[in-house]
Structure 1
């Protein structure tokens, strides 16, 4: 099954399979780089897209993964108020170094090293959500509960 996937998408599929998950990574013909593109390609609401964004903790330099609903912008001041963590955007080289993936296809799992994760609580309103799977056109479907279990993320009010 992973033979037909691009290497980064296959890496995500293999990670999910190794962790007892039966999710299916699929590569779509169009780009899913933006939440709007992904929702259009999948045929779902923009809010059901779980977009993975890498930030850097200003105090420690460590990466922080924020998984937000495609319908929202991330409000880093809200995150700071709730967690004490001050975030700054990470550049493309930093993202690849810490996740092993390029911006535009960052999955919630299968990173080079474990990453502290924060989850947009508004994703919990959906029965099913879609996450990137390693390339700008690869995705997989899951539930918010499964997202929380896979990432050990902390659910927060982070929408701006």
Structure 2
């Protein structure tokens, strides 16, 4: 993450943080300020969507916006493309840069928390920093 301009501070989430709701409570942030990194296939190509924990990706609608069929990547492909386990995927640090879109709904939060790339880890960031360190594009998921 340091190579991409992020300070690189990854912290271990409290043991009580067993899911998104518990993580938000432990970090004392709104659930909507948690970033879920999700790998999809746009046609045959892997992409990364950084989505607020309160949003669900409508694959039909989002695929139409991105000009192709969109399906969730199966777990074995998630690991291949990111080098990280589903559920703990960081927005950066993958073997190859994935085309990335960032949920515009995250822009309303001064502080965001994203997975750190291994189970139970998170890091603090912001919407603008996510766009910068991922070379991502904003995407309206509403």
TM-score by length of 2: 0.91
The 5-angstrom pairing of residues 138-149 of structure 1 reads 138-149=121-132
The 5-angstrom pairing of residues 60-79 of structure 1 reads 61-79=44-62
Partners of 2:72 and 2:18 in 1: CA distance = 17
What's the secondary structure of 1:101's corresponding residue?
Answer: coil
- The correspondence for 1:92, drawn from 75, 80, 87, is 75
Aligned length: 142
TM-score by length of 1: 0.82
Q: Any stretches of 5+ residues in structure 1 without a counterpart?
A: 1-15
Partners of 2:63 and 2:99 in 1: CA distance = 14
Cα deviations by residue, 1:105-148 (Å, 9 ceiling, x for unpaired): 00000001110111110100111100100122100001100000
Runs of 4+ aligned structure 1 residues displaced above 4 Å come to: none
Partners of 1:62 and 1:135 in 2: CA distance = 24
Instruction: Name the structure where helix makes up a greater proportion of residues.
Output: 1
**CA pair 116-34 structure 1, distance change in 2 beyond 3 A:** farther
- The correspondence for 2:105, drawn from 105, 122, 132, is 122
Deviates more, 1:18-27 or 1:89-98: 18-27
In the alignment, which residue of structure 1 is the partner of 2:14? 29
Cα deviations by residue, 1:46-68 (Å, 9 ceiling, x for unpaired): 000011011112x2x22111110
Q: Any stretches of 5+ residues in structure 2 without a counterpart?
A: none
